[in-house]
Amino acid sequence: MISFIICLALLIGGYFVYGKVVENTFAPDDRETPAVRINDGVDYVVMPQWKLFLVQLLNIAGLGPIFGAMQGALWGPVVFLWITFGTIFAGGVHDYFSGMLSERNDGASISEVCGIYLGNVMKNVMRVFSVVLLVMVGTVFAVGPAGLIVTLLGNKGITGLLANPEFWLWIILLYYFIATFISIDKIIGRIYPIFGICLIIMALGVIIGIFTNPNYTIPEIWSHFTNMHPDGKPIWSFMFITVACGAISGFHSTQSPLMARCMKSEKQGHFVFYGAMVAEGVIALIWAAAGCAIYKVTGGLSTGLSEILANGQSAAIYDVCIKTMGGIGVALAMIGVIVCPITSGDTAFRSARLVLADWFKIDQNKLQKRLILCVPLLAVGAFVGHLDYAIVWRYFSWTNQTLAMIVLWTASMYLFREKKNYWITAVPATFMSAVSMTYFFCADECLGFSTAVAYPVGIILAALFLGIFIWATRKPARKQA
């Protein structure tokens, strides 16, 4: 429990200390923001800072820091270290710069931002990358809740149309369609802060339940500094890919422009972007602690957690909520496993619309032009929603962390151009390059090589990327000479 408290204190302290270093490096000023200058009443709408924070938290979090953290707990309390230091030095930095670089470029989508600083080739790669990722996220977060609703209704003995997952899938997609094109302050700005608060309350309830139950003990990192995964999956780089939300996630960079278009002042960025990432890290740390504390360990392996996760991640959430909060936990779990994924899904499709709008230079002021993009987007989502869930999700983890890697390199190039300390982004960019490339070479769904091959290749490629970046930063100097 002591190591958990230390990690929690480091996360909170990281917001005030390292978060301030990041903010000072970027140096926000009093220039007019896109929300004030453009203010189209649809996507560019000024919202108060507390709403920006809660909406950003819900957009980037959903169930990500819960699912990922509990999966990460299979490796044991060593996951606390990744959540803590990943959030402070990588995730918070990634989210802050993805939001602020968008804000500095008229609220541009992350693909356009990458193009500004990494060139047109990378811009086109990121356009495709972003849209595919967003449609995958939006679709999975429609199919999953639809199935959960049917399960819940089935347990109540309800049959017929209401027990048909196809019916609920179309209901959710219809909601996505509406939420994707109407003004951001009509649904997202009004309702999502409430669900953001629910997400925080659920995490607080879980940790209070663990602290007050004598049967639960959060293991110490120094007493369990081993790989406790029941299937023997290596910590590097599988744990770093599995725990994305709650440490660092490329998906966040697709969401940050939504709030970048709604800030009244650049100085809100520290609280809205870095702060929301730290809050997500705290939530992930709590759920990882729950996974380590509640379930049995056999022979030094997390067998009990593995068994409950085998019943599905939603079943695991219900189990934790009931064991830590009793009856009230059921209501919070209902919100968690059904509402939170839906709120992430609709903002994913909204972000996809904005990426396409920026790509094809389609003005979004008029309803008809928004519908031109919304209709085909949701049609694709409906098609993907009928594919095998496992196939759709199989490549998400690697795609997600690779996106984070590219965004960090983008921020590094921006800082170089501005003659600022680019190492605060280049170091995590190099680290995430090693994570992403190692996973790509050793994961079964990718190339499936042995770790003896994947480890050195991943590190060599990360060093190569760093070398290319350093070469690019020296190139202007050589030309001037």
Task: For residues 359 and 124, give the distance between their C-alpha atoms in angstroms, rounded to a whole number.
Answer: 9
Residues 6+ apart with CB under 8 A from 470: none
One digit per residue, pLDDT tens: the chain, 481 residues?
Answer: 899 999 999 999 999 999 999 999 999 999 999 999 999 999 999 999 999 999 999 989 877 888 889 999 999 999 999 999 999 999 999 999 999 999 999 999 999 999 999 999 999 999 998 998 898 888 877 877 887 788 778 777 888 888 888 999 899 999 999 988 899 988 899 888 988 898 899 999 999 999 999 999 999 999 999 999 999 999 999 999 999 989 999 999 999 999 999 999 999 999 999 999 999 999 999 999 999 999 999 999 999 999 998 887 777 888 898 899 987 887 777 777 788 888 888 899 999 999 999 999 999 988 899 999 999 998 988 887 776 655 555 667 888 899 999 999 999 999 999 999 999 999 999 999 999 999 999 998 889 999 999 999 999 999 999 999 999 998 755 444 3
The full DSSP string for 104-171 is HTTT--HHHHHHHHH-HHHHHHHHHHHHHHHHHHHHHHHHHHHHHHHHHHHHTT--GGGG-HHHHHHH
What's the gap between Cα 239 and its chain centre? 15
Percent of the chain at pLDDT > 90 equals 68
Q: Own/partner pairs for 32-39, CB < 8 Å, 24+ apart?
A: 33/103, 33/263, 33/264, 33/265, 33/266, 34/103, 34/106, 34/107, 34/260, 34/261, 35/107, 35/261, 35/262, 35/263, 35/264, 36/264, 38/106, 38/107, 38/261
Give me the amino acid identity at 108. Answer: A
Q: What is the pLDDT of residues 266-300, one digit of tens each?
A: 999 999 999 999 999 999 999 999 999 999 999 99
- Candidates 169, 116, 161; CA nearest to 142 is 169
- Candidates 114, 134, 131; CA nearest to 122 is 114
pTM: 0.93
- Candidates 335, 206, 210; CA nearest to 282 is 206
Domains of the chain: 2-396 (1.10.4160.10)
Task: For residues 280 and 269, give the distance between their C-alpha atoms in angstroms, rounded to a whole number.
Answer: 16
B/e letters for 357-387, b = 16+ CB within 10 Å, e = fewer, are: bbbeeeebeeeeebebbbeebbebbbebbee
